[in-house]
Amino acid sequence: MAEFGFASLDERYTLHLDEISVTTDANNTRIWERASKAGFIYGVYLQMDAGNRAVRLMVDGREISILDKTPSQMVAAGMDVPNPVFPYALATDDDNYVHNWVWTPREPRIAEYVDRAYIEVAAGVLVVGKVLYAESRE
């Protein structure tokens, strides 16, 4: 994990970059989690070996991602570039088993968490990725 400190006029945060490398299974679908701290998610990049599995990002109980569509389905529906409603950038290559899921919020408040944020990927997927986030030092 990389760590960078910064401060604004009224808030003190440390910027973190977590790296992920995990294969999910029925008992382990949560690939990243931050609990009992306040913060903001600035970006998520995931590369998966399956395009037909759902990805879910939860922030303080709010579902941020589309749970009922897989990366392949989102690309087929035309969601291959970020847009103001669902800011994803997706790329999927079924022949080579490479599927990218990139999420960056339009503004930090969309991905602000007070207590808990986590990412889940359906079972049976090799996931490699990074999460850039800032957490309060207090």
Asked if the structure places residue 14 within a domain, the reply is: no
Q: What is the pLDDT of residue 101?
A: 79
Based on the structure, what is the number of domains in the chain? Answer: 1
Asked if the structure places residue 136 within a domain, the reply is: no
Angle at 110 between CA 105 and CA 111, to 5 degrees: 75
Asked if the structure places residue 100 within a domain, the reply is: yes
Q: What is the pLDDT of residue 116?
A: 94
Q: What is the pLDDT of residue 129?
A: 95
Asked if the structure places residue 110 within a domain, the reply is: yes
Q: What is the pLDDT of residue 33?
A: 97
Domain range for 78 is 19-129
For a pLDDT cut of 90, what percent of the chain falls above it?
Answer: 31
Predicted confidence (pLDDT) per residue in 41-90, tens digit = 888 899 988 877 778 888 898 887 655 566 667 667 665 544 444 445 56
Asked if the structure places residue 10 within a domain, the reply is: no
Q: How far apart are CA 130 and CA 108, in angstroms?
A: 17
Asked if the structure places residue 79 within a domain, the reply is: yes
The first and second tokens of residue 47, run together, are 């590369």
Name the more confident of 125 and 66.
125
Asked if the structure places residue 25 within a domain, the reply is: yes
Asked if the structure places residue 99 within a domain, the reply is: yes
pTM: 0.77
Name the more confident of 59 and 100.
59
Question: What DSSP string describes 24-55?
Answer: -BTTB-EEEEEESS-EEEEEEEEEES-SSS-E
